[in-house]
Structure 1
């Protein structure tokens, strides 16, 4: 689940990524609703620790930064900008879309990668 941080006083848009072990926050929310309880609010993207590398992987960060800075019109253009194989970039962008880190907009026959945020904040709880 990805939500946009709009509670900030400045114009910076931040994607908040939290690392969580155990139950999926969506499943927890559904259980709370089933019991007539109000679920805990979830702000941002919540991932198990095993998937954190997909967010902070240098190749993926390069893709995200390039999308934010250059606003490529297609995945093919993004691949040219980062000087990587189109198939590799397509696969990476598809995974980043699945995680909620990149949005793909239909633009004719192409898919235009976009990001809505200016930075990513990662929260890793040390004590449960």
Structure 2
């Protein structure tokens, strides 16, 4: 993201990552605002049903990739790998996994794919109560 000096005035775009259930209230509020002719604040949300997906989001290497993309806006996967000092094939595989999880967009840019992140923060909601999680579908 190019710096303009006005970042402190820009709203933070937060991606809400949830396990098992989405936030229906936020969706309902946004739809009500649209019905009133208003433009609601965007609510970015991804819901996962597999704990392994949550683990993928919170791995240190994943967070390093996401932070690097947000801070440096690399022009390609190769440049991203250079910035995180990792092998290009590993970074390519990790970025494809993140694209499959809807956390990164890989944009065709000539002969390269440019990774893009459209949010500034991640908020993870992981319920620990039995009523919020179906124990038959949870793997350790």
TM-score, normalised by the number of residues in structure 2: 0.67
Number of aligned residue pairs: 100
In the TM superposition, residue 125 of structure 1 has moved relative to its aligned partner by 1.6
Query: Gaps spanning 5+ residues in structure 1: where?
Result: 1-9, 22-41
Q: Secondary structure at the match of 2:74?
A: coil
Q: Distance in 2 between matches of 1:117 and 1:88?
A: 23
| 1:78-117 matches, cutoff 5 A | 78-117=80-119
Q: Distance in 2 between matches of 1:84 and 1:43?
A: 29
The answer to whether residue 112 in structure 2 is matched with residue 126 in structure 1 is: no
Contact 2:14 2:122 in 1 (8 A): yes
Contact 1:104 1:111 in 2 (8 A): yes
**Larger Rg belongs to:** 2
Q: Which consecutive segments of 4 or more residues in structure 1 shift more than 4 A?
A: none
RMSD: 1.9
TM-score, normalised by the number of residues in structure 1: 0.73
Contact 1:15 1:117 in 2 (8 A): yes
What does residue 68 of structure 1 align with?
70
